[in-house]
């Protein structure tokens, strides 16, 4: 997906302008946008890591039928450990597959490992607090659930992929690397199709063999484990989850910000258009259906909760009604001369959800939205990154190529339609005032 796919300055859902143009909302929404931009200061980090200072350097790892595993692990002991492991699979199109060209590592279930150093558990609890704060979930006791112990030898790797939610309420993945003597094996995290974060687990400063290190990324962030070129790498993978009773718990937010927003919302009149907030992070359909707005993270969570908190301060008659909507924009291309493609029909559809994640069904009516755009992003920045991972569908009979781009916006009770995750696209989400369509 590129700027050239949007000829004649026509963008999804009524957007118009050149790629570098910054869309500005109309009416009171323009003032709301300017105030809401202050919420960005409360956003969590997309990916982070470093030395795990709360964890002991000698965890006294014990593996069933192998015994105590000193770290960094020796080559001889690594081979004994691998004999008790299973090869790591990967998921693709709801199937579990094995292919060492995609993923090469070994794994143990959490029931097969334990830690005799009692400081490990208390250290993990402290690390969990650090992770919660940096993800933007301050004062919320996120749970660290051990998923697997992974062993990477020479040649071990995992190509670029996206995690699935392994636990209910999962929002992020925590990788704890035990002291390991190895080369290669960096964890790289992508955003918008480009490498944005690189975690070397202490190799650069020479501490990887002596101290534990960690890395965190959102569960649905694309990431890859680069090839290990020497030695062995031991890593514990944890699922970071919201507690079952706190999945929709609001965080503390700036009261003056909410009060300023409340004043603007309260002054909106019938002539003001309903507005939408496109989300910056990627989300899976499962996370939205399971958690609704509880799945939002970083700047998306900060912005939404600022709006929601402000809305609670407004008289009932003036309050906004929020929804989550999946927007799908499809472009068809017909074959032209010299192996080229000519842009043809465009179509749009929407799937609506409540803020708790309940699906209201699909609507195919195209709508022009009054997007807030508090980040002052250009049209290209708003839409193009979400076409980076699009698939191309070829209809051999009709000789048509189809491209899709997806996002989110508002619920309509009605036809159920197909499941939105059947398209295989990662959506971008938005919250809106109730709309009449």
Q: Would you say residue 409 has pLDDT above 60?
A: no
**Region for residue 42 given its phi and psi (left: phi exceeds 0; alpha: psi -120 to 50; beta: otherwise):** alpha
The first and second tokens of residue 266, run together, are 């309260």
Q: Tell me the pLDDT band of 414, cut-offs 50, 70 and 90.
A: very low
pLDDT for the residue numbered 235: 98
Contact 306, 339 (CB under 8 A): no
CATH class, 47-135+143-241 region: mainly beta
**In this predicted model, which residue has the larger pLDDT, 326 or 436?**
326
pLDDT for the residue numbered 418: 32
pLDDT tens digits for range 335-372: 777 767 677 777 888 888 999 999 988 775 655 678 89
Burial of 410 (0-12, 13-18, 19+ CB in 10 A): buried
What are the residues facing 195 on neighbouring strands?
190
**In this predicted model, which residue has the larger pLDDT, 342 or 326?**
326
pLDDT for the residue numbered 173: 95
CA atoms within 13 A on the CB side of 373: 19
Nearest to 143 by CA among 246, 293, 292, 297: 246
pLDDT tens digits for range 161-192: 988 777 888 889 999 999 999 999 999 999 76
Distance CA 206, CA 288 (A): 41
pLDDT tens digits for range 19-67: 889 999 988 889 999 888 888 766 678 899 999 999 999 999 999 999 9
pLDDT for the residue numbered 351: 85
Arithmetic mean of pLDDT over the chain = 81
Helix 28-36 crosses helix 255-266 at what angle (to 10 degrees)? 170
Other CB atoms within 10 Å distance of the CB of residue 379? 22
Nearest to 247 by CA among 373, 141, 173, 402: 141
Domain segments of the chain: what residues? 3-44+246-432, 47-135+143-241
Global pTM exceeds 0.75: no
pLDDT tens digits for range 77-115: 999 999 999 999 887 766 778 889 999 999 999 999 999
């Amino acid at each position: 997906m590129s700027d050239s796919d949007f000829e004649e300055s026509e963008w999804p859902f009524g957007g118009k302008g050149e790629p570098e143009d910054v869309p500005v909302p109309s009416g009171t929404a323009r003032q709301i946008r300017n105030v809401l931009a202050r919420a960005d200061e409360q956003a969590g980090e997309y990916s982070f890591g470093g030395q795990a200072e709360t964890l002991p350097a000698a965890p006294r790892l014990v593996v069933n039928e192998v015994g105590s595993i000193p770290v960094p692990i020796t080559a001889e002991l690594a081979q004994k450990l691998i004999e008790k492991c299973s090869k790591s699979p990967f998921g693709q199109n709801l199937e579990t597959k094995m292919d060492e060209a995609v993923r090469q590592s070994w794994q143990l279930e959490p029931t097969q490992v334990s830690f005799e150093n009692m400081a490990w558990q208390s250290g993990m609890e402290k690390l969990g607090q650090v992770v919660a704060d940096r993800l933007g979930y301050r004062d919320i006791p996120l749970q660290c659930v051990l998923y697997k112990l992974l062993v990477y030898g020479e040649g071990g790797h995992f190509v670029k992929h996206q995690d699935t939610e392994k636990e209910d309420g999962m929002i992020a993945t925590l990788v704890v690397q035990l002291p390991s003597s190895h080369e290669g094996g960096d964890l790289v995290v992508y955003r918008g199709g480009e490498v944005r974060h690189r975690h070397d687990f202490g190799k650069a400063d020479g501490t990887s063999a002596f101290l534990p290190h960690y890395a965190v990324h959102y569960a649905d962030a694309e990431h890859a484990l680069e090839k290990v070129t020497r030695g062995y790498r031991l890593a514990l993978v944890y699922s970071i989850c919201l507690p079952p009773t706190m999945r929709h718990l609001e965080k503390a937010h700036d009261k003056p910000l909410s009060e300023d927003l409340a004043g603007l919302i309260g002054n909106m009149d019938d002539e003001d258009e309903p507005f939408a907030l496109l989300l910056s992070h990627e989300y899976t359909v499962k996370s939205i259906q399971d958690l609704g707005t509880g799945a939002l993270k970083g700047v998306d969570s900060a912005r939404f909760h600022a709006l929601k908190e402000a809305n609670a301060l407004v008289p009932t008659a003036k309050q906004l009604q929020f929804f989550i909507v999946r927007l799908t924009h499809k472009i068809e291309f017909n074959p032209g001369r010299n192996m080229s493609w000519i842009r043809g029909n465009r179509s749009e559809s929407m799937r609506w959800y409540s803020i708790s994640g309940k699906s209201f069904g699909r609507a195919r009516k195209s709508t022009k939205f009054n997007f807030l755009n508090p980040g002052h992003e250009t049209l290209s920045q708003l839409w193009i990154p979400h076409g980076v991972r699009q698939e191309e569908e070829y209809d051999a009979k009709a000789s048509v190529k189809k491209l899709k781009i997806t996002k989110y916006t508002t619920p309509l009770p009605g036809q159920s339609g197909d499941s939105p995750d059947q398209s295989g696209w990662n959506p971008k989400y938005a919250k809106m005032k109730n709309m009449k369509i």
